[in-house]
Amino acid sequence: MARVKTVPPAVTAVQTEVADPAVSAFVSANAGSGKTHVLAQRVIRLLLAGVDPAKILCITFTKAAAANMADRVFGQLAGWIALDDEALDAKLCALGVTTITAATRAQARTLFAAALDTPGGLKVETIHAFCTRLLQRFPFEAAVPAHFAVLDERATDELLDRATLAVMLDATAAPDGPLGRALTAALAAAADQTLRDLVRETVFRRHDLTAWIAAAGGLDAAIAGLSATLGVAADESVADIDKAIVEGPLFPPSEWGAVAELCRASSANDQKQCGRLSAAAAATGRDRVESYLDVFLTGDRAPRKSVITAALAKTYPALAERLDRERERIVALLERRCAAACRDRTAALLTLATAVINRTTAEKNRRGLLDYDDLIDKTLDLLARTPPGWVHYKLDRAIDHVLVDEAQDTSPKQWEIIRHLVAEFTAGAGARTTRRSIFAVGDEKQSIFSFQGAVPREFARMRQHFAAAHRAGGLDFRAREFKFSFRSGASVLGAVDAVFAAREMYASVTSDTDGVPPHEPLPDAAPGVVELWPLMPAEPTREMEGWEAPFDATLETSPRERLARRIARTIRDMIDRGEPAGPEPRPLTAGDVLVLVRQRGPMFTAIIRALEEAKVPVAGADRLALGEHVAIVDLLALADALLLHADDLALAIALKSPLFGFDDDLLFALAHGRRGSLWGALRRSAATRPEFAEAAARLDR
């Protein structure tokens, strides 16, 4: 049974303070400090204060978090129904309720039913679910289809893939058109899959892209502006710059041969320059440009300290001075060529991405679809358009308390929606006298959704915004920190604080100039230890010819395999030594150990394999790709063999599987020297061996 942890009074006090429904609060909470618990406590205290459940909006970042929040609230309220007065009083006191009467108890016991039965009910939902509900109420004002459907992430990906493929096919069909030229330029700079990923990333940022293009006056104007920013003329191409590189006035191609001969008669370094000049003179096209650049630049395209040696320069000072000036000219032209290439690649990507955006937009409009980004943009546009109208008025009447969970993963646009929702909360006295509040809890250090637009520093900025708004309205606003951890001990928390003690480290995860708030353990937190293992470098391996190298084997000397074996060996040694299982008076078992990995990749499978080899019981993978499991592969091979009798490989795989149990010798006896398909050979050989007869009969079934 889990031990009851001792919670310091200071922790309980700050939790009770921010759960007070009479104030607005922003809470910065370290990992494992109970922020979700406090969010649920605040909802319950709002209900105890007589707030209509329909007027409470809890915004979470994921559906799983919304379900967890609702479960916590309803689970606690449901438990109150069967408690006697003394036990219920203890629960209410723990919440921070100071005055408990018979009426308070009666109300507490009815909250569960009230929260369920109230029309509209208690709203615990993601920001996208809220936007969907809002837009469905005001489709005309928001300019969305009256019965729109929401695309989930998978459907959005499928729509985007179809649109991207269609644009690529259009580009291929018309290679001389704008799309065709853009595709040719893009493929010259990126592989096919990389290009698809770049197009996808650009489409996901379509709102910024389309706003930039619209502000410039069109795609061509936007590219012209980009050219100016990069310092190249809009009509200047990479080919023009290449021509300027090799046909400059300081060192024309007609002189390359003569200078090469001078270098040939000099020192070894000058002779190398002779070779480079001779290669440039003999080359054509792009090869000539690259060979000529080699004369003045190193392999990583840094300027050479000297084009010719000091001895040769002393003999031909005018030539040396001219070559130095040519080197400076080449460096400047190379920068312009890089800028032009960057412009051209960007233009190609934007041309393709814009076509994909237009196609997906047309498809969504035709079918009445909105994706998650559309929900946010349409809602923000609805709330921000014009002074407070009847949409704002009805929202103000419907929502009095807004609570935001995992606020560090809220994007700037989502914060703007929240800001519009609560704009009237701090406006001072008006037609309504109801006290309203906003509550947000988050931790900049735990932000993991920056790829979806989350900006952790927005949490601090919005905290300052709401603090100022509440001060201006004469309202109480509290900014607090949760430093205690219910999850980890002093050793783990101390290691985290040590890692982020330096400014260059904490500046990467928080906007607080004072650094990361310290992580404090509970007084009776379990002891622990943090070990830092050195990195596993790759061991030197000999070069192999292609036919000698293993086809699909992972070298046992690879860092991944060695680290996996070390992990398995460490756990095996701990079990064999009978180390204590934490505070419990018993020896450690395999079930007491949890191995955490960043992702289910090669390292994940290597650790499982190493644990099994070390005879350490392991639960194995908790998730697998169904189509990659060996049993599914065998069944698919059987299906292929049944559908196409000429597919010898599929039938061979099926026969070698546990479905038929053939070994290598049996399969060789059947397949070697056969005439026709493997299926026909099995039929003809059924009378020669019982294994063949049984396999043929099973295939017939």
Predicted confidence (pLDDT) per residue in 87-109, tens digit: 888 888 888 787 888 888 888 88
Same domain, 386 and 319: no
Examine the pLDDT at 66 and tell me if it is beyond 80.
Answer: yes
Tell me the pLDDT band of 626, cut-offs 50, 70 and 90: confident
Q: Provide mean pLDDT across the span 358-365.
A: 92
Burial of 676 (0-12, 13-18, 19+ CB in 10 A): exposed
Does a structural domain hold residue 684?
yes
Same domain, 260 and 360: yes
Average pLDDT over residues 299-303: 88
528: in domain: no
Same domain, 296 and 174: yes
- Given this model, what pLDDT does residue 28 score? 85
149: which strand partners?
Answer: 369
Question: Is the pLDDT higher at 506 or at 159?
Answer: 159
Same domain membership, residue 447 and residue 573: no
* pLDDT interval class at 388 (50, 70, 90): low
For the stretch 246-259, pLDDT in tens is 998 899 999 999 99
41 has a pLDDT exceeding 50: yes
Let me know whether 361 and 387 are in one domain: no
Alpha-carbon distance of 190 to 186, in angstroms, equals: 6
The mean pLDDT of 504-527, rounded to a whole number, is 77
Q: What is the tally of structural domains in the chain?
A: 4
Tens of pLDDT along 310-354? 999 999 999 999 999 999 999 999 999 999 999 999 999 999 999
Based on the domain organization, do 391 and 497 belong to the same domain?
yes
Ranges 228-242, 327-341, 355-369, 530-544: which has the least confidence: 530-544
Contact status, residue 29 vs residue 408, Cβ threshold 8 Å? no
Spatial distance between the Cα atoms of 310 and 316, rounded to a whole number of angstroms: 10
Q: Phi and psi at residue 31, in whole multiples of 5°?
A: -60, 135
Percentage of residues of the chain with pLDDT beyond 90: 33
| Mean pLDDT value of segment 52-66 | 84
How many beta carbons lie within 10 A of that of residue 284, not counting itself? 7
Buried b (16+ CB within 10 A) or exposed e, 623-635: eeeeeeeeeeebe
Pick the last residue of a domain from 520, 539, 570.
520
State which of 380-394, 425-439, 500-514 shows the largest mean pLDDT.
500-514
Instruction: For residue 414, name the pLDDT band (cuts at 50, 70, 90).
Output: confident
pLDDT: is 194 or 364 the higher one? 364
**Of 623, 650, 665, which residue constitutes the final position of a domain?**
623
Give per-residue pLDDT as tens, 135-180.
988 888 888 988 899 998 889 889 999 999 999 999 999 989 999 9
Question: Does a structural domain hold residue 128?
Answer: yes
Confidence category of residue 294, pLDDT binned at 50, 70, 90: very high
pLDDT at 390 over 80: no
* Confidence at residue 585, expressed as pLDDT on a 0 to 100 scale: 78
Q: Count H helices, E strands: the chain?
A: 31, 12
Kindly report, residue by residue over 570-602, the tens digit of the pLDDT. Answer: 999 999 998 887 767 789 899 889 999 888 888
φ and ψ of 245, to 5 deg: -65, -50
For residue range 440-488, what is the model confidence (pLDDT) as tens digits?
Answer: 988 777 665 555 555 667 788 888 898 998 888 888 898 888 888 888 8
Is-above-0.85 flag for pTM? no
**Which domain range does residue 391 map to?**
9-132+376-520
| 402: nearest Cα among 85, 46, 644 | 46
The model's pLDDT over 640-677, given as tens digits with 9 standing for 90+, comes to 999 999 899 999 999 999 999 999 999 999 999 888 89
Residues 357 and 384 in one domain: no
Residues 182-191: what's their mean pLDDT? 83
pLDDT of residue 479: 87
Res 324: pLDDT? 92
Residue 437 falls inside a structural domain = yes
pLDDT at 497: 86
Portion of the chain with pLDDT greater than 70, in percent: 91
Give residue 83's pLDDT. Answer: 85
238 and 357 fall within a common domain: yes
pLDDT band, residue 1 (cuts 50/70/90): very low
Please state, in angstroms and rounded to a whole number, the distance separating the CA atoms of residues 12 and 19.
Answer: 11
Residue from 405, 424, 416, 409 nearest 377 by CA: 416
Query: What is the pLDDT, as a whole number, of residue 452?
Result: 56
Strands 584-587 and 580-581: antiparallel
The H or E element that residue 681 is part of is helix 678-684
Q: Are residues 413 and 430 in the same domain?
A: yes
Check whether residue 340 and residue 207 sit in a common domain: yes
Cβ contact 97:88 at 8 Å: no
Report yes or no on 534 lying in a domain. no
Any idea which residue has 């395209």 for tokens? 301
Domain membership of residue 143 (yes or no) is: no
Do 322 and 271 fall within a single domain?
Answer: yes
Domain's final residue, options 329, 349, 367: 367
Residue 23 lies in a domain: yes
Are 564 and 603 in contact by the 8 Å Cβ rule? The answer is yes
Same domain for 392 and 335?
A: no
Torsion of CA 544, 545, 546, 552, to 10 degrees: -20
Q: Is residue 26 part of a domain?
A: yes
Q: What is the pLDDT, as a whole number, of residue 288?
A: 92
Average pLDDT, the chain: 85
Average pLDDT (667-688) is 90
CATH number of residue 496's parent domain = 3.40.50.300
Q: Which of 67-71, 410-414, 603-607, 622-626 has the highest mean pLDDT?
A: 603-607
Q: Which CATH number covers residue 653?
A: 1.10.486.10
- Mean pLDDT (whole number) for 552-562: 71
C-alpha span between 27 and 482 (Å, rounded): 7
Lowest mean pLDDT among 94-98, 129-133, 394-398: 394-398
C-beta of residue 94 within 8 angstroms of C-beta of residue 66: no
